[in-house]
Amino acid sequence: MPQGVRPLGDVGGVVDVVMPARNEATTVAANVAAARGCRWVRDVIVVDDGSSDATAERAAGAGARVVRRDATIGSKALAMAAGVAATDADAILFVDADCTGLTSGHLDAVCRPFVEGRATMSIGFFDYGRFWNWVVPRCPPLSGERIVPRWVFEAVPETKLDGYTIEVRLNEVICEARLRTSARIMAGVQHRTKRAKVGRRAGMGQTWRMYKALVSLLRPVGDIRWRTYWFYLRGLTVEP
């Protein structure tokens, strides 16, 4: 095991962070720093799809290994796949590069149920306020902050690695195998929305296209079974 790597408790093995990032120069360094400080993390790999800002430089400056995808059309899912392919870690902690307020303590808390063998997938959710903090973890999870064994990511067929739908595909692998999920709110954590990044009009357009792609995954249009959500709820533990 490389020097400085902490073993994965009951599970055994190594955790690396994979952080997809496209034009996230504003926030990427802080998120790399948070990820590097997580007690179970060995390396932080930032995957950049041709950002036009200083994302790659700031990520590297904060101590990440930067993988560049040579892509004319970016894709969150393909960026994540490139990150997983660039490491031999046994488990991957995915962290979006646009989080605000994220600390190593939040990521420790996300990893702990996984490391202790209480869940196969462990997720952190943004802090939306009291009411939504109860609702959101009990909905099909779309959060990018989650740890899974690498086999879970590799179980998603290449043909299904499609942009923002990747989280639904990870849910599908976990839930169809009736595996357990742990969920928690990351107090004080938010993210820069698409509207903040590219302006109101373009941001709303991108958000609309993202949700349209997500909804069209469901039967009868798509191939995700409704029962997947039932299996999610059955295997779910929401932690304080």
Ligand X SMILES: Nc1nc2c(ncn2[C@@H]2O[C@H](COP(=O)(O)OP(=O)(O)OP(=O)(O)O)[C@@H](O)[C@H]2O)c(=O)[nH]1
Partner whose footprint covers residue 207, from Mg ion, ligand X, none (CB < 5 to 8 Å by kind):
ligand X
**Part of the chain binding ligand X (CB under 6 A), chosen from 14-22, 100-108, 125-133, 145-153:** 14-22
Locus of tokens 């892509």: 71
Q: How far is the CB of 29 from Mg ion (least distance, A)?
A: 16
Partner whose footprint covers residue 133, from Mg ion, ligand X, none (CB < 5 to 8 Å by kind):
none
Is the separation of the CB atoms in 173 and 155 below 8 Å?
yes
- Can residue 145 be called a binding residue for ligand X (CB under 6 A)? no
Structure tokens at 9: 């408790």
Q: How far is the CB of 96 from Mg ion (least distance, A)?
A: 6
Residues at the interface with Mg ion (CB under 5 A): 98, 191
Select 97 or 115, whichever has its Cβ closest to ligand X. Answer: 97
- Can residue 169 be called a binding residue for ligand X (CB under 6 A)? no
Residue whose CB is nearest to Mg ion in the complex, by number: 191
Q: How far is the CB of 138 from ligand X (least distance, A)?
A: 19
- Can residue 47 be called a binding residue for ligand X (CB under 6 A)? yes
Partner whose footprint covers residue 141, from ligand X, Mg ion, none (CB < 5 to 8 Å by kind):
none
# binding residues, ligand X (CB under 6 A): 20
Looking only at the bridges linking them, the beta strands covering 15-21 and 41-48 are: parallel
Q: How far is the CB of 51 from ligand X (least distance, A)?
A: 8
Site for ligand X in 69-128 (CB under 6 A): 74-76, 79, 96-98
Contacts with ligand X by CB under 6 A lie at: 20-22, 24, 47-49, 74-76, 79, 96-98, 144, 164, 191, 193-194, 207
